[in-house]
Each structure stands twice: as structure tokens, then as C-alpha cells.
Amino acid sequence: DLNIIRGCDAVILAMPVETIIKIAPVISQLVSKDCLVTDVGSTKVEIVKILSKIFPNFIGSHPLAGSEKSGILQAQEDLFENSLCILTPTAATSTLVLRKIKALWQRLGAQAVLLTPKSHDKILSFVSHLPHVSAFALMRTVPKNYLRFAANGLKDTTRIALSESELWVQIFLTNSRNLVKAIESLEAQLSQIKGALRSKDRKRLKTILEKARKKRESLEEKSKIQILQNPK
Amino acid sequence: DLNIIRGCDAVILAMPVETIIKIAPVISQLVSKDCLVTDVGSTKVEIVKILSKIFPNFIGSHPLAGSEKSGILQAQEDLFENSLCILTPTAATSTLVLRKIKALWQRLGAQAVLLTPKSHDKILSFVSHLPHVSAFALMRTVPKNYLRFAANGLKDTTRIALSESELWVQIFLTNSRNLVKAIESLEAQLSQIKGALRSKDRKRLKTILEKARKKRESLEEKSKIQILQNPK
């Protein structure tokens, strides 16, 4: 029953991307013009384009937290602590609305970062949507009768393939252009490794792997710094 | 000082694949003909081909346990509990040697499974070597300045890119034919997803993701069964 949100001061839309877009006009009939509205959708260009027309006080959010699990039983009190939350204001966003939404996320322990919806979707296509594509593709690749020999390597690299497929279909479709480009970049990298293997080019292979390892190491460092910057 | 292994009843070679092959002739000068010899290399065809000529009582092993971490400080007492250990006997392997090596792994809590060296290398190219290729390639793909926006999805899918690069160069090079084929299968799956994205084919995309999700779920089930079959 959506009537529960009548008279609310703030509404956070936490649904699959297309549901957010579909439900927005319905919600706008129930809340006042002053109501603060944000969402937690994983793509921002389409949502911001549509919702900023519907709600005078809207700003898109994307908290970079959560897991492959879904449903109320997976709720976690400290989910947002030491996480990053991307906010995607537009030229039309009022300073007051931005300040309030920023404060909301900071209260939950997240660090707020501003990006344009366009930059958000491009960056996320690489750091989040592509890893999901790769996990789904990897699971499709491994023959079923080989699965009993799978150890932690395959399990970790494909854990996010446990994510709700409908949720990800919607994310992929609302960011398809960026995602196609990101997949092409991944294909180019796979092709490089394949080339080095075919020519048994040890030196080239070593360079590729070592550079990847160092970059991954810098990712660990980044997480540590983030935690230090947000002490309790 | 290798002299420490003089008079040993059993030797386990736990080194990078090529080091195992290089050190084998040296070891064979130090141990008696009766010495049981096994190894824990991640590819088996080349190792078994060479070491079974050098040692009369050799059998290849590949315990499917461990992580991206290396070094004595990462030692774990219960590392092999509830894990699988692949043994790769040949037609020339004596029953007694097989029984003893099997007993060794079972004592450590592992379940022993027999495969030919050839089957081992093919299966592992999909369940272990390909996920590593994909993790290294994914890290190479993500632009450096996007890394601060990486959350758990990218971290999990690329954790194994933290593995020692020299170790993996040697694994990849000693299994390059199978691995090239596995990479090509992954490329075909990526291409399917890309095609569905380009044509905005929602139904096809949903089917691909849902099948991948279910397969990944069956992987979770398999781990649970394995643990049940090996109760403490």
C-alpha cells in the first residue's frame, strides 16, 4: 500500500532501475512538492533524466555497498559504513537538496562523492557492470561436469553471478552503450593474453600479469585508506 | 640445503611448475629408489611426463586448496580439510604407491580423486586457469582513475589477480593449448552478452543471466555436499 508515504518528508526509492522509473509518477501523486526524493539505482542517466522532471527536489544516489544477496533478511545495520555513495546532481539541483541528501548518507557512515550521471554510468560500467558480465560469462563457459573440481578461484570470481538476474538485466539495458564498450576493452585484454600464450611469449605474459597484480594491490591500498579516512 | 632430504621416505615437491621439473633430477640424486615422490603443481601433463621417468615411485597430485597468498606465514593447519585432491596416476603407477599417496592426502582431510594428467589439465584450464586469466584481464581493463569507485564486485572477481605472477606464468605456459581454447569459449560467451545488449534483446539477456545464476547456485550446493560427505 503506497498510501503509507503520504506526508513523508523524504522518500528513498530502493528498487530495480526500471521499477524506479515506472513507480516515480505514482509516487509524485502522493507526496508534497517539498518532499526530498532520492533513489539507489545502479545506473543514473535514465533515472535522473526522468525523475528530475517528476520531482522538484530529486537527486540521484548510488551507494557503493551491498552484495549479491537481496531481500529484507539480508539487511545489515552497518552496510554503508566506510562506503562511498555517489550523488549525481544536475545544474538544476538546489544546494539545499544536495546538502540534505549528502547529510543523509553521511549519517549512515558513507562518504558522498559527486559525479554527473554520465560520468557515473561510464565509470560504473567498468568497476561494477563489467565484473558482473564477466562473472555471468565465466559461469556459462565452465562445462557443468567440471564444476565439482571448482575451488575458491572460480567461486570468488563468480560469486556475483548469484545476483538476481532481473535486477542486472535492467542495469545492463539502461547502460548498454557504455557496457558494450567495456566488454570490448575486456576482450582486447583477453586477446593480448591469448596472443602471448600462443606465441609462448613468457616475457610479455609476465609483464601483463605483473601489471595486473600491482593494480589489484593498489585497489587493496585504496580500501585501507578509505577506512582510515572514515574513523568511527 | 637440499641434503636435508637424503634418506627421506617421501618427498612432496611444492614449488612453481617449472621449478619442480628443474629440481627433479637433482632430487633424484639424493633420495633412494624406494622414496615416494609426489608434487602439488597446478598442471600435470608435463610434470608427470618428466617426473615419472625420473622417479620410480612418482605420482602427480594437485590439491584443490590454497589462495592467492604465498609464503610460510600463510600456512594453515586445516588447509586441506574438506578439499579435493586430484591424483594423476599413469598405467605404470604401482598400486602400492597410489594407495600410500592417497592415504597421505586423506590424512590431511582431503578427498582423493583420480584423473589422467590430460583430463586434469583440460578441466583445470576451465575451473582454475581461466578464472585467473579473467581476473588478470579485468584488472587490466579497468582504468586506473576509476579504481576508487570499485566496490566488492570488482574486488571479489579480481582477488586472485593478487596471486604471484611468476607462478601463474608457468601454469599458463605449461597448459597453453587448453587455456587458449578456454579463453575462446569465454570470448564466445562475452560476445553473446554483447550481442544481446546491442540488440536490446531483453529476453535473451535474461535467459543468459538466469542460466548463469542457476549454475552458480549449483556450485554452492556442490560445496555443501562435499562438506557433508567429509564430516569431522
Report pLDDT digits (tens) over B9-34: 999 999 999 999 999 999 999 999 99
Report pLDDT digits (tens) over A180-230: 999 999 999 999 999 999 999 999 999 999 999 999 999 987 665 555 554
**What's the pLDDT at A231?**
41
Query: What Cα–Cα distance (Å) separates residue A49 from each residue in A24, A105, A177, B200?
Result: 12, 22, 17, 20
pLDDT at B182 over 70: yes
- E strands present in A143-190: none
Question: Is the residue at B111 inside a domain?
Answer: yes
A contact test, residue of B219, B223, B225, B226 with most A CBs within 10 A: B219
pLDDT at A232 over 50: no
Q: Are both A80 and A139 inside the same structural domain?
A: no
Last-in-domain residue among A74, A99, A116: A116
pLDDT at B224 over 70: no
Residue A63: phi and psi, rounded to 5, are: -70, 125
Question: Is the residue at B62 inside a domain?
Answer: yes
CB contacts under 8 A, B 142-171 vs A, are: 142-144, 146-166, 168-169
Of A163, A44, A177, residue with least CA distance to A113? A44
CB atoms within 10 A of CB A75: 8
* Alpha carbon distance B229, A202 (integer Å): 41
Q: Are both A102 and A202 inside the same structural domain?
A: no
Report pLDDT digits (tens) over A8-55: 999 999 999 999 999 999 999 999 999 999 999 999 999 999 999 999
Q: Are both A190 and A147 inside the same structural domain?
A: yes
Under 8 Å CB pairs connecting chains A and B tally to 292
Q: Give the type of residue at A111.
A: Q
A contact test, residue of B46, B80, B152, B181 with most A CBs within 10 A: B152
Q: Are both B127 and B215 inside the same structural domain?
A: yes
Report pLDDT digits (tens) over A122-157: 999 999 999 999 999 999 999 999 999 998 999 999
Last-in-domain residue among A63, A83, A116: A116
pLDDT at B232 over 50: no
Concatenating the DSSP letter of every residue in chain B gives: -GGGGTT-SEEEE-S-HHHHHHHHHHHHHHS-TT-EEEE--S--HHHHHHHHHH-TTEEEEEE----S--SGGG--TTTTTT-EEEEE--TT--HHHHHHHHHHHHHTTPEEEE--HHHHHHHHIIIIIHHHHHHHHHHHHS-GGGGGG--HHHHHHHGGGGS-HHHHHHHHHTTHHHHHHHHHHHHHHHHHHHHHHHTT-HHHHHHHHHHHHHHHHHHHHHHHHHHHHS--
* Alpha carbon distance A115, A94 (integer Å): 15
Q: Which of A137, A151, A165 sits opposite B190 (nearest CB)?
A: A137
* Alpha carbon distance A206, A97 (integer Å): 51
Last-in-domain residue among A116, A150, A165: A116
Across the interface, whether the CB atoms of A218 and B147 are under 8 A apart is answered: yes
Domain that holds residue A58: 2-116
Task: Give mean pLDDT, residues A54-72.
Answer: 91
Q: Are both A72 and A13 inside the same structural domain?
A: yes
Q: Are both B135 and B225 inside the same structural domain?
A: yes
Q: How many Cα atoms within 13 Å fall on the side-chain side of residue B175? A: 34
Residues in chain B, overall count: 232
Q: Are both A14 and A98 inside the same structural domain?
A: yes
Q: Are both B136 and B109 inside the same structural domain?
A: no
Mean pLDDT of chain B: 93
Give me A10's grid cell: 523524504
Across the interface, whether the CB atoms of A193 and B160 are under 8 A apart is answered: no
Q: Are both B124 and B225 inside the same structural domain?
A: yes
Q: Are both A130 and A211 inside the same structural domain?
A: yes
Q: Which of B123, B162, B188 sits opposite A217 (nearest CB)?
A: B162
Question: Is the residue at B3 inside a domain?
Answer: no
Q: What angle do CA A201, A204, A207 make, to 5 degrees?
A: 145
**What's the pLDDT at A151?**
87
Q: What is the CATH number of the domain that holds A9?
A: 3.40.50.720
Specify the number of domains making up chain A: 2
* Alpha carbon distance A43, A22 (integer Å): 15
Residues of A in contact with B198 (CB under 8 A): 176, 180
**What's the pLDDT at B161?**
97
**What's the pLDDT at A74?**
86
CB contacts under 8 A, A 206-225 vs B, are: 206, 208-213, 215-220, 222-223
Q: Are both A47 and A102 inside the same structural domain?
A: yes
Across the interface, whether the CB atoms of B137 and A202 are under 8 A apart is answered: no
Question: Is the residue at B94 inside a domain?
Answer: yes
> With an 8 Å Cβ cutoff, is B54 touching chain A?
no
